[in-house]
Homo-oligomer: A and B are copies of this chain.
Amino acid sequence: MNINLSKILIGKSLRTDELKDEKFNVFWGLPILSSDAISSVAYAGEEILWVLVPIIGLLSYKYMFYAALCIVFLMFLLVFSYRQTIDSYPDGGGSYIVAKDNLGTIPGLVAGSALSIDYVLTVAVSTCAGTAAITSAIPSLLVHKVFITVALIIIMTLGNLRGIRESSKIFGIPTYLFMISVIGMIVFGIIKVHILGYTPKPSYTIPNVSGDITLFLFLRAFASGCTALTGVEAVSNGIPSFKEPSQKNAKIVLELLALVILMIFGGISYLATLYHAVPNLEVTVVAQIAYQVFGTSIFFYVIQITTAVILIMAANTAFAGLPLLLALMAKDKFMPRQFNKRGKRLGFSNGIITLSLFACLLVIAFRADTHLLMPLYAVGVFISFTLSQAGMFTRWVKSKKRGWRHKAFINGLGCLVSFVTVIIIGVTKFLHGAWIVCILVPLIVRIMLKINKHYSIVAEQLRLSIYEKPKHIDLAEQKRYVIVPIDTLNKSFLKALNYARTISNNIILFHVSVDDVATAKLLKKWDEYGVGIPIVVKKSPYRNIVTPLVKFIESEEYAAGPMDTVTVVMPQFVVENWWGNILHNQTSLFTRTMLLKERNIAIVTVPYIIEE
């Protein structure tokens, strides 16, 4: 039943050699890797206005334009930088790899953990925003928003567990719909004013304030707008999931992405100025524009719906990105190696599941409130930008290849600006939650180092030199000590005893006594049975079965001498239905677990199957 269920939800298993079929081309690569970046544009402009309007009123639109320019400039820096990264890192050049390669392990891990945090936040923030869009349409659902958000995450998890290609189709289409409808709105919006000569009448009055622009204010506006650039990272991280030629395809997608962002972000900012949209808690800037452009026609609702959908879908970028990142870090032994195993459908299932788990926890902890999550957001992504570009910068400086100055300049500049952005975001959002990231990053880095240490210790101790040959063994002269624990004299025990007798002549039967009456009964029965092997009895006043047995075996082990391995033959009867096991004290299991910690002991389990 369990298996069937997973078949229905996740689909039939795929063979490893079907892997290449699972990769995507430019057409599907664009939406699946960029829905985050594209969707964030929907609120980036508004974020800027939220900072400016309350202080400098009408002047805001002018400075929003400048801020937008800076962001677009920063974006192109990032795009150029990442084009260079893609060239240098054919197997996927996330900030983690770039930073690790060129700046060393710690910076790499910092980038990796910062990015991981941000991926989780992407899922949480986007789904919450999507739910908010839904609930503001149907207020009666407001009470269930946590439930709805979690449900959305689960649906996306299943979609992604089904595999890359399908998920790109599931999640790609809405992205295209959003792009088309928004660009349509921009074009028509401009035509309506400049050609049809429509004069916009703002539905909200701009506060009559005469504050003056300050550098800090402008930087804050810029920082808030930077959310537009979250997700750019994903493309260069996702190179391996592209069809050949993957590098070329990735670069094309990256450029297309830049183009789309430029158009949408620039367009919306321009329309906001044109139609004097004023940010407020009831209606989003995009909605205000859409309303003025389309009135209450069908197109207005198309914009609203596609916006809601893409916000939810944005989360999918993280589902495409984080599992890959985790797999990379697992390959380098900084994460549990399970993250580097492909699931039934060839996706990195463990990463997908982990992501959705943490996202759900965040959503529940923050009661699906976007405004509580926002401050944690975007810090991580810009930390990773900074580090990856610092990495590229040092790379060029070191390499001194032809034209390195030009390339180093681009990355250096990008690094600088990203760094400034980090500082700004950090400062302006610190008390509102950015501090959490400041605690989490070093913590995660520490854990990753611990994991790495563990793996290297294990590898070190397991390594086998060519000279350590297996020792010569003569079966005839073997002297093996075999201990068979006996609780009650039954068929399961007899089977174990028989097996023990096939591997050794010196067998010790061992009984832990918690109940004198029962013990006496056993000894009597065993005596009548007359096999002639004596039973060693140890009393256990504290009703603990395992410890005395282990103690005895340890002592026996000593008697046997360090060279010889003691064999413990454990009878274990196996019930076929899962719940059956609940009904039996798993003594044999416990004993085994404790014995595993002893050297020179081999544990033999002789199963006896019970049919029902």
Please report A residues at the B interface, Cβ cutoff 8 Å: 13-17, 336-338, 341-342, 344, 451, 454-455, 457-458, 461-464, 466, 468-471, 473, 475, 478, 480, 488-494, 497-499, 501-505, 514, 528-529, 531, 541-543, 565, 567, 572-576, 580, 582-585, 592, 595-599, 601-612
CB distance A597 to B575 under 8 Å?
Answer: no
Chain B's nearest CB lies how many Å from the CB of A561? 14
Residue contact B602 to A605, C-beta cutoff 8 Å:
yes
Q: What residue of chain B has the Cβ atom nearest to residue A505's Cβ?
A: B475
A494: B residues at CB distance < 8 A: 464, 468, 470
| Least distance between A571 CB and chain B CB atoms (Å) | 10
- Is B470 a contact partner of A583 (Cβ separation < 8 A)? no
Query: Which single residue of chain B is at the shortest CB-CB distance from A565?
Result: B499
Q: A461-B611, A598-B607 are in contact. List 11 more A-B contacts (CB 8 A).
A: A16-B542, A342-B543, A454-B580, A462-B492, A464-B494, A469-B531, A471-B498, A478-B502, A567-B604, A603-B605, A604-B604
Task: Name the residue on B nearest A17 (C-beta).
Answer: B541
A462:B491 contact, CB within 8 angstroms: yes
Asked whether A575 and B458 contact (CB < 8 A) given A15-B541, A490-B464, A602-B499, the answer is yes
Q: What 8 pairs across the A-B complex have the smallest Cβ distances? A: A462-B490, A15-B541, A596-B607, A603-B605, A473-B501, A604-B604, A13-B542, A503-B503
What are the residues of chain B within 8 A of A344 when measuring CB–CB? 542
Complex Cα distance, B369 from A121, in Å, reads 37
A498-B473, A502-B475 as given contacts; A574 in contact with B602, CB under 8 Å: no
- A341-B585, A603-B604 are contacts. A573–B502 as well, Cβ < 8 Å? no
A501 to B469, CA, bound (A): 13
Chain B: minimal CB distance from A574 (Å): 5
- In the assembly, what is the distance between CA of A88 and CA of B580, in Å? 36
- Residues of B within 8 Å of A336, CB to CB, are 582-583
Q: Which of chain B's residues has its CB closest to A530's CB? A: B469
Contact partner of A490 (CB less than 8 A), chosen from B463, B528, B574, B592, is: B463
CB atoms of B583 and A451 under 8 A apart = yes
A542 neighbours in B (Cβ, 8 Å): 13-16, 344
The residue on B at minimum CB distance from A572 is B596
Using Cβ atoms and an 8 Å threshold, which residues of chain B touch A454? Answer: 575, 580, 583, 612
Cα(A480)–Cα(B480), bound, Å: 16
Q: Enumerate chain B residues within 8 angstroms of A478, measured Cβ to Cβ.
A: 502-503
Contact A498 B514 (CB under 8 A): no
A-B CB contact pairs (8 Å), 21 listed: A15-B542, A16-B543, A337-B583, A337-B584, A344-B542, A451-B583, A454-B575, A454-B612, A458-B584, A461-B610, A464-B493, A470-B497, A470-B531, A473-B502, A475-B503, A503-B503, A572-B596, A596-B605, A601-B607, A602-B606, A603-B604
A585 contacts which of B15, B337, B490, B501 (Cβ < 8 Å)?
B337
Please tell me if the beta carbons of A573 and B458 are within 8 angstroms of each other in the complex. yes
**Nearest opposing residue in chain B for A569, CB measure:** B602
Expressed in whole angstroms, the minimum distance between the Cβ of A518 and any Cβ of chain B is: 12
Which chain B residue shows the least CB distance to A567? B604
User: Is the CB–CB distance between B583 and A605 below 8 Å?
Assistant: no
Q: Is the CB of B505 within 8 A of A341?
A: no
CB distance from A32 to the nearest CB of B (A): 24
Question: Residues of B contacting A592 with CB < 8 Å?
Answer: 605
> Contact between B491 and A463 (Cβ–Cβ < 8 Å)?
yes
Q: How far is the CA of A541 from the CA of B16 in the complex (A)?
A: 6
Q: Measured between alpha carbons, how far is A542 from B17 in the docked complex, in Å?
A: 9
A602 touches B599 (CB 8 A): no
Q: In the docked arrangement, what's the CA distance between A337 and B587, Å? A: 13
- CB contacts (< 8 Å) of A502 on chain B: these are 473, 475, 478, 480, 565
Q: Are B489 and A464 in contact (CB under 8 A)?
A: yes
Instruction: Compute how far the CA of A15 lies from the CA of B492 in the bound complex, rounded to whole angstroms.
Output: 30
Could you say which residues of chain B place their CB within 8 Å of the CB of A543? 16, 341-342
Of A457, A458, A565, A599, chain B has the most CB atoms within 10 Å of the CB of A458
Set of chain B residues within 8 Å of A567, measured between Cβ atoms: 604
B529 near A466 (CB under 8 angstroms)?
Answer: yes
Least CB distance from A14 to B in Å reads 8
Whether A599 touches B609, Cβ cut-off 8 Å, given contacts A498-B473, A543-B342, is yes
| Cβ contacts under 8 Å, A596 to chain B | 572, 574, 605, 607
Candidate in A337, A543, A567, A580 with the most chain B CB atoms within 10 angstroms: A543
Determine which of B457, B469, B489 lies in contact with A612 in the assembled complex, contact meaning CB atoms within 8 Å.
B457
Taking CB as reference atom, which chain B residue is nearest A342? B543
Nearest CB on B from A592, distance (A): 7
Q: For the complex, what is the distance from the CA of A475 to the CA of B498, rounded to whole Å?
A: 11
Chain B residues positioned under 8 Å from A582 (CB to CB): 336
A44 to B336, CA, bound (A): 60
Nearest B residue to A471, CB-CB: B498
CB contacts (< 8 Å) of A15 on chain B: these are 541-542
* C-alpha spacing A603/B455, complex, angstroms: 27
In this complex, what residue of B is CB-closest to A455?
B583
Chain B minimum-CB-distance residue to A533: B470
The listed residue (B493, B602, B609, B610) touching A457 by CB distance below 8 A is B610
B470–A501 CB distance below 8 A: yes
Q: Which residue of B lies closest to A585 (CB)?
A: B338
Q: How far is the CA of A505 from the CA of B476 in the complex (A)?
A: 11
Closest B-chain residue to A611, C-beta based?
B461
Give Cα distance in the complex from A498 to B564, angstroms: 11
**Shortest Cβ distance from residue A609 to the other chain B in the assembled complex, whole angstroms:** 6
Instruction: Give Cα distance in the complex from A513 to B526, angstroms.
Output: 48
Contact assessment for A466 and B528 in the assembled complex, using a CB-CB cutoff below 8 Å = yes
Q: Across the interface, name the chain B residue whose C-beta is closest to A462.
A: B490
